[in-house]
Structure formats: structure tokens, C-alpha cells
């Protein structure tokens, strides 16, 4: 393996480890919030002075992560924020165990520092993806090159957690007319705005890819097909109702959505073929629709909403 190939493989391995650490952090945070809301017995690991070393993210930060990514500019900031988060969490859990009410300001501090940890981790993740050439330069979302990498990780997560996941193929309707009528610069500005629209209306752990042109792929973990249908139909409605600004022009557009379950029995290319076919069915029905690939296809028709 030559030096560039070795560097690529090392970055890829670090990215896989980082993704697992982010997932572990999300699970810990969800468990902590459940504890604070519902009560119950705290784990000893959350109440010790070195709690920040005992969680999955902490073990990675002070072990394999430090060995591979410790020299990254944001690494020290992640360590500081992570330790601070555990300190606040320990204080809240001790207050709860003593029968004292949790002060809103203390809980807000936990939320703020947990958000900071998540932002720093995602920023590092994006930097690694950029080194792999996996970020779309126009919109800032993942590109086609990232799809197989990230979907392979989601399939592994589905198998490990037994939680459902869906993918959605989105094609902007009649987009060529925007370029023809308003010019390519306006079309590029609309694509950037649509990517930002998706990011603003989806959850923080959903992922967005630009497959090319006016085509996007959305990945929605912990979501089954029926839940995704309702969520994406609302997204379709909001997209159609949103005016997008391109310089001094106001542009409205709609999109066709195809949705399938991310099923480990299918190869990723098979999943992508199926979800594109579902989108093409939505398009053939007139566009501005969501097509779910059940055993039997179902299409959300805007005229029947």
C-alpha cells in the first residue's frame, strides 16, 4: 500500500471509529435524559469523578481516538467539553438522588454543553469526510461517494440495534426549467437553499446526500416506513410552500420522493435501485408526491391531502 492509499485507509478507519463513538454518545445522552425525567437508580459510572472516562465516547477519546486523531485542532476542545458535560450530569444526578429539584439553569447548562460536544464531533466528522473527497462542494452535504460508506454503517447499526431505518430518493420536479428561465447561478443558489432546507427540517442524526444535479438522498435512522411517509409528506408540503430566493428572484418548486426500508438483506446498490424506482413512480404520477415501497406501493397524492 503506497503512502496516499495508507493515509486514505487510516482516515477511513478513524471515520468508522468516530461514527461509533458518536452513536455511543447519543445512546448515553438518551439514557441520561430518561434518568433525569423518569427517575430510577443511577449507574455508578455516571456518579464517579472519572465518569468522562467510563462512557463509550470517553473510552474512545482517551484511547483509540487520541492515538489516531489527537493531533486534530478541535480534539482538545472535545475533551474539555465532554468532561464538563459529565461533571454537570453528575451534579444533576446527585441532586435527583438527594430528592432535590433540578434547577432549570443547571439543566440548560447540560443541554448547551452536550450540544457543543455534538457540534464538535460532527465538525471533525465532516473534516475527515472532506479529506476523503466525500462532501459536495456546492451544497456542503455528503456527495455520492459518501453514500456507500455511510449506508454500510447504517446497515451495521440496523443489524446491531434492530432499529428500523429508511432511505429516501428526492428529485426536484422540473428543475431544468429553473436553469433555463433564471440561469445556472440561480439554479445553484436554489440547490444550496434546498440542502439547507432539508438540514433545517430533518433531525440532527438524519443524513443528507447530493447524488448529482437536482437529486438528493435522505437517510432517516430509527424510523419505519409508515413514520417516514408521514414525516416526508409534511416535508414535501413545506417544500412546496417555501419561496426560495435566488439573487432578486423568488422561485418555488416541488419534489418527488421515493422511500424504501434500509434492509440488510439487500446490497446497497439494490437498495439505491429500489428507492430510485419508487421516486420515478412518484414522478410518473405527476410529481410532488411521496411513494413508499411497501410490498404494495402507496403514493401520497397532494390533491387528496
Condensed to tens digits (0 to 9), the pLDDT of residues 144-163 reads: 888 988 888 888 888 888 89
Q: Which residues contact 118 (CB under 8 A, 6 or more apart)?
A: 22, 25, 204
Q: How many domains does the chain have?
A: 2
Do residues 97 and 246 share a domain? no
pLDDT at residue 211 tops 50: yes
At 1 the pLDDT is: 35
8 pLDDT above the threshold of 80: no
pLDDT of residue 198 exceeding 90, the answer is: yes
Considering the domain architecture, whether residues 219 and 175 belong to the same structural domain is answered as yes
In terms of domains, do 191 and 264 share one? yes
> Is 182 part of a structural domain of the chain?
yes
- 273 & 149 share domain: yes
| Rounded distance between C-alpha atoms, residue 199 and residue 17, angstroms | 24
47-74 confidence digits (pLDDT tens): 999 999 999 999 999 999 999 999 988 8
Last residue of a domain, one of 79, 102, 131: 131
Which pLDDT score, from 0 to 100, does residue 299 have?
A: 60
Domain assignment of residue 164, given as a range:
142-304
Split at pLDDT 50, 70, 90, the class of 26 is confident
Same-domain check for residues 79 and 173: no
Same domain assignment for residues 116 and 156: no
**pLDDT tens, position by position, 30-44:** 899 989 988 877 778
Residues 95 and 155 in one domain: no
Domain limit, last residue, from 108, 131, 154: 131
Q: Which residue, 97, 131, 165, sits at the end of a domain?
A: 131
The confidence score (pLDDT) of residue 2 equals: 36
Question: What 3-state class would DSSP assign to 209?
Answer: strand
Residue 88 domain flag: yes
Say yes or no: 230 and 291 in one domain: yes
90 within 8 A of 125, measured Cβ to Cβ? no
Q: What CATH number has the domain bearing residue 246?
A: 3.30.70.270
CB-neighbour burial class of residue 28 (10 A; exposed 0-12, middle 13-18, buried 19+) = buried
| 146 domain-assigned | yes
Are both 66 and 167 inside the same structural domain? no
Map residue 100 onto helix, strand or coil.
Answer: coil
Asked if residue 136 is part of any domain, the answer here is: no
**137, part of any domain:** no
What integer is the mean pLDDT of 6-24? 82
Question: Which cell numbers in the block locate residue 21?
Answer: 463513538
Grid cell locating 53: 472516562
In this predicted model, what pLDDT tens digit does every residue of 177-197 receive, in sequence order?
Answer: 998 888 899 999 999 999 999
Q: Is residue 229, in this structure, part of any structural domain at all?
A: yes
Same domain? For 149 and 227 the reply is yes
Q: Tell me: do 167 and 295 sit in the same domain.
A: yes
- Same domain for 162 and 82: no
For residue range 79-121, list pLDDT tens digits in order: 999 999 999 999 999 999 899 999 999 999 999 999 999 999 9
Amino acid at each position: 500500500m503506497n503512502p496516499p492509499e495508507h493515509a486514505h485507509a487510516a482516515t477511513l478507519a478513524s471515520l468508522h471509529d468516530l461514527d461509533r463513538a458518536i452513536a455511543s454518545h447519543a445512546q448515553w445522552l438518551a439514557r441520561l435524559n430518561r434518568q433525569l425525567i423518569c427517575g430510577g437508580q443511577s449507574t455508578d459510572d455516571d456518579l464517579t469523578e472519572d465518569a468522562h472516562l467510563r462512557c463509550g465516547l470517553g473510552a474512545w477519546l482517551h484511547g483509540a481516538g487520541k492515538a489516531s486523531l489527537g493531533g486534530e485542532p478541535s480534539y482538545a476542545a472535545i475533551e474539555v467539553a465532554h468532561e464538563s458535560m459529565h461533571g454537570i450530569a453528575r451534579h444533576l444526578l446527585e441532586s435527583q438522588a438527594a430528592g432535590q429539584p433540578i434547577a432549570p439553569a443547571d439543566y440548560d447548562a447540560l443541554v448547551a454543553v452536550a450540544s457543543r460536544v455534538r457540534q464538535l464531533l460532527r465538525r471533525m466528522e465532516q473534516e475527515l469526510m472532506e479529506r476523503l473527497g466525500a462532501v459536495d462542494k456546492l451544497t456542503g452535504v455528503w456527495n455520492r461517494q459518501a453514500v456507500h460508506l455511510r449506508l454500510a454503517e447504517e446497515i451495521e447499526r440496523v443489524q446491531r440495534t434492530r432499529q428500523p431505518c429508511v432511505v429516501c430518493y428526492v428529485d426536484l420536479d422540473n428543475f431544468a426549467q429553473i436553469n433555463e428561465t433564471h440561469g445556472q447561478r440561480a439554479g445553484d443558489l436554489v440547490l444550496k437553499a434546498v440542502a439547507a432546507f432539508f438540514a433545517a427540517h430533518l433531525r440532527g442524526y438524519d443524513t443528507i446526500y447530493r447524488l448529482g444535479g437536482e437529486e438528493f438522498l435522505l437517510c432517516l435512522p430509527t424510523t419505519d416506513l409508515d413514520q417516514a411517509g408521514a414525516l416526508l409528506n409534511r416535508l414535501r408540503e413545506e417544500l412546496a410552500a417555501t419561496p426560495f430566493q435566488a439573487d432578486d428572484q423568488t422561485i418555488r418548486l416541488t419534489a418527488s420522493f421515493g422511500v424504501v426500508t434500509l434492509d440488510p438483506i439487500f446490497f446497497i446498490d439494490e437498495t439505491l435501485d429500489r428507492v430510485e424506482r419508487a421516486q420515478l413512480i412518484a414522478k410518473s404520477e405527476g410529481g410532488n408526491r411521496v411513494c413508499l415501497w411497501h410490498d404494495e406501493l402507496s403514493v401520497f397524492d397532494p390533491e387528496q391531502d
